[in-house]
């Protein structure tokens, strides 16, 4: 029994999801003639109370499209120093859009309205890049699955309105935040100009993300997606997995959160663990004591068929997900408790 807790991207479609994929009606989505893709896009737009949506093969492409839509070359994005768009999208902001990132030193990947206000360059000072976009990540990846409070997001929105800035949400794991905080997705639709949501992480679909916004913005996004090479033909087979995921796998995210919290509780009691970061959703980050090496911990767990990842500097990451079953959870807890050095 192999237990992969490296990421929630490792999940495989269930038989029920595969059956829905097999039965889906498809067309040519490049011509916007795939009925299942159209159904998925309408579903996600309605969830957030926004006008339109566009299906993408990846979250990176969805985020990069949003950046392209909201900026011009030479301009600047405000985001947290740990943001996915800066760390894990291959330098795409500079390569695709010719923009730079103003990195804010937030808390667990989350920034405040005051920090955003302080980071805005004076628009009439032509020596510095023109600030044009604020990008928020919720939940935060490197921040250990932390979730923004709605009041904080509203305050940042107010700063954006005051300074004529666009507001994008990298919501790769927004579904987790919605469940953990019991928030209404339509509130997010009211705040942000664009939102990207992923279907292939906690929701268990094999491929795909969706970008949502108003109709005019999504019409422009269609052209950008084409330029980026993201046009797909009979993509309804993939969209069907996303529809199934939205219908069946959102509420069960709480199970992943509970398992991550239980693992955090266990880790806090172990003598070789230095600290465990607060656990809100399905991402658990912990640090080992200085006399231990995280590579040794990874190897010892690997020998027990448990796979986790390193964040460097003594930090390790565990991510719970759809394929992490109860029997696996019991085994992981027992293994961690017995681990010796």
Which residue reads 């510095």 in tokens? 128
Query: How far, rounded to the nearest angstrom, does the alpha carbon of residue 219 sit from its chain's CA centroid?
Result: 23
Domains of the chain, with CATH numbers? 12-248 (3.40.640.10), 252-338 (3.90.1150.10)
Structure-block tokens of residue 50: 């926004």
Are 250 and 281 a contacting pair, CB within 8 Å? no
- Residue 314: per-residue pLDDT: 86
DSSP state of 141: T
Which residue reads 């992490």 in tokens? 324
Residues with Cβ within 8 Å of 158's Cβ and at least 6 positions away in sequence, in order, are 113
- Residue 32: per-residue pLDDT: 95
Q: What is the pTM of this model?
A: 0.97
- Residue 1: per-residue pLDDT: 85
Strands 273-276 and 283-288: antiparallel
Return the axis-axis angle of helices 174-181 and 253-268, rounded to nearest 10°: 80
Residues with Cβ within 8 Å of 131's Cβ and at least 6 positions away in sequence, in order, are 75, 76, 78, 102, 119, 120, 121, 123, 163, 165
- Residue 186: per-residue pLDDT: 98
- Residue 341: per-residue pLDDT: 80
d(CA 196, CA 135): 11
Query: How many residues in the chain?
Result: 341
Per-residue confidence in pLDDT tens, the chain, 341 aa = 899 999 999 999 999 999 999 999 999 999 999 999 999 999 999 999 999 999 999 999 999 999 999 999 999 999 999 999 999 999 999 999 999 999 999 999 999 999 999 999 999 999 999 999 999 999 999 999 999 999 999 999 999 999 999 999 999 999 999 999 999 999 999 999 999 999 999 999 999 999 999 999 999 999 999 999 999 999 999 999 999 999 999 999 999 999 999 999 999 999 999 999 999 999 999 999 988 888 999 999 999 999 999 998 889 999 999 999 999 999 999 999 999 88
- Residue 107: per-residue pLDDT: 97
């Amino acid at each position: 029994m192999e237990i992969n807790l490296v990421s929630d991207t490792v999940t495989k479609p269930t038989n029920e999801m595969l059956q829905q994929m097999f039965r889906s009606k498809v067309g040519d989505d490049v011509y916007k003639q795939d009925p299942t893709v159209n159904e998925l896009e309408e579903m996600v737009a309605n969830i957030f109370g926004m006008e339109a949506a566009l299906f993408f093969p990846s979250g990176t492409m969805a985020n990069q499209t949003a950046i392209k839509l909201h900026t011009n070359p030479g301009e600047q994005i405000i985001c947290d120093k740990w943001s996915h768009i800066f760390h894990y999208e291959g330098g795409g902001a500079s390569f695709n859009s010719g923009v730079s990132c103003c990195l804010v030193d937030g808390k667990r990947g989350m920034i405040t309205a005051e920090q955003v206000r302080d980071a805005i360059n004076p628009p009439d000072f032509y020596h510095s890049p023109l600030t044009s976009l604020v990008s928020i990540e919720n939940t935060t990846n490197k921040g250990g699955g932390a979730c923004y409070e709605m009041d904080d997001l509203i305050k940042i929105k107010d700063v954006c309105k005051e300074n004529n800035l666009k507001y994008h949400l990298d919501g790769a794991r927004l579904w987790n935040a919605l469940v953990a905080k019991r928030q209404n997705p339509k509130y997010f639709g009211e705040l942000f100009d664009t939102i990207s949501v992923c279907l292939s992480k906690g929701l268990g679909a094999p491929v795909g993300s969706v970008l949502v916004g108003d109709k005019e913005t999504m019409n422009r996004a269609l052209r950008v997606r084409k330029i980026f090479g993201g046009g797909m033909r009979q993509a309804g087979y993939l969209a069907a997995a996303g529809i199934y995921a939205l219908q069946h796998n959102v509420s069960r995210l709480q199970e992943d959160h509970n398992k991550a919290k239980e693992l955090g509780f266990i880790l806090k009691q172990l003598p070789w663990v230095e600290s465990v970061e607060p656990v809100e959703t399905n991402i658990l980050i912990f640090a080992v004591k200085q006399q231990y090496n995280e590579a040794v911990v990874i190897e010892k767990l690997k020998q027990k068929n448990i796979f986790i990842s390193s964040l460097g500097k003594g930090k390790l990451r565990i991510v719970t997900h759809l394929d992490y079953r109860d029997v696996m959870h019991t085994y992981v807890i027992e293994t961690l408790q017995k681990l010796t050095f």
